[in-house]
Amino acid sequence: MDSKIITNFKFNSLQIHRLIIFLVYIFSITLCIILFKMIKQTVNNNSDINFILTSGALFATFGSAIVGLSLVFHSDFQKRIELNLNILYKEIYKQSSPWRRWPFLKRNSSVKLLNGKRDKMTGVLTNVSPLLNFGTYKRKFEMPTIFEDYFDLPIFNNFFILYKSKAQFYTDASRYNNISTDDIMTYECFYDTYLNLMKFRISRYGIHFGCGMIFSTLVIIFIDVFT
């Protein structure tokens, strides 16, 4: 049976990641301002410096706790991803020297040319995309090789595809003889890798949220004390 090959939809994941970080900071700063005003309204002497410092210390401690907790999960998820990739390339694909992206090369690059025509030289970096055999078709997935890939690959989109097609994959595996044990191991490795990549990204946003609370607390204290 001939299998068609499907390539995933491309979009700029790094820009989306940066937009989410921006929104996380906006949310954390807004939340701190709202909570600080609510607390001040419940206290009669709301201009007292002791109240300001105590409230600020409370928010900063809460933000630090979020950062610390997120860092613990962040580190665990990163180790799991690196282990999965090592297993995929060296034990499943049996590659002695797997392809690795060079970190100084950007995913999307653009350079203006000095030719008087305002032309640009653009480039798009594409990781090696292993084929995942679904029986009736094959799909390409870009796999991360370095830390930068955790942010500029379509992590959530790829995980959703793997999650949605899991039941169909095992159904096809029971029907067709062209899905091998290595194909099943590859699928499970892909699935677990992207699951942990998604958790890694969420824990990363948790770190930024906590940092946003600490930063906004310092700004609120400075404004209330010196104005």
Domain ranges for the chain:
19-226
Distance CA 135, CA 180 (A): 10
Task: Considering only the C-alpha atoms of the chain, give the largest distance between any 2 of them, rounded to a whole number of Å.
Answer: 79
Strand pairing partners for 137? Answer: 4
Q: Which amino acid is at 148?
A: E
Question: Do 159 and 176 meet the contact criterion of CB atoms below 8 Å apart?
Answer: no
Question: Do 197 and 81 meet the contact criterion of CB atoms below 8 Å apart?
Answer: yes
Which residue reads 């020297």 in tokens? 97
Within 10 angstroms of residue 9's Cβ, the number of other Cβ atoms is 8
Give, for all 227 residues of the chain, the pLDDT tens digit: 444 444 454 557 888 899 999 999 999 999 988 888 887 777 665 556 777 778 788 888 999 999 999 999 999 999 999 999 999 888 888 887 777 888 887 777 777 777 766 666 676 777 777 778 776 777 888 888 888 889 988 899 889 989 988 888 888 888 877 778 888 898 999 999 999 999 999 999 999 999 999 998 888 888 776 66
Predicted TM-score (pTM) above 0.85:
no
**What pLDDT was estimated at residue 1?**
42
**What pLDDT was estimated at residue 9?**
47
Distance CA 88, CA 96 (A): 12
Q: Residue 1: helix, strand or coil by DSSP?
A: coil
